Amino acid sequence: MNNINDIQRYNNLVMEIMCEPEFKPGGFVYKHLEENKSDPLVSIKSAVDRMSELYDLERNDIGIVSELILEKFKNK
């Protein structure tokens, strides 16, 4: 994240992606985080990777977006 535009872009992506069913109660990622089954970042990255075409994410965006999503879940 090089500047304020990058930060805003990533935050907007995170907010959009977190509205996807995988991140809502009962969804794939949500269940993994609630049940503490595995490394939460792995399940988040997996879901974000599957959505990368939908959200026009580059490979290097997936890790950044996933970390931000994990932080949002931790701060709930």
Q: How far apart are the first and last CA of the chain?
A: 23
pLDDT by 10s per residue, the chain, length 76: 568 888 999 999 999 999 999 999 999 999 988 888 789 999 999 999 999 999 999 999 999 999 999 999 989 7
The predicted model scores a pTM of: 0.89
Q: Phi and psi (nearest 5°) for 66?
A: -65, -45
DSSP the chain: --SHHHHHHHHHHHHHHTTSGGGSTTSHHHHHHHHT-S-HHHHHHHHHHHTTTTTT--HHHHHHHHHHHHHHHHT-
Could you tell me the two tokens for 48?
């974000």
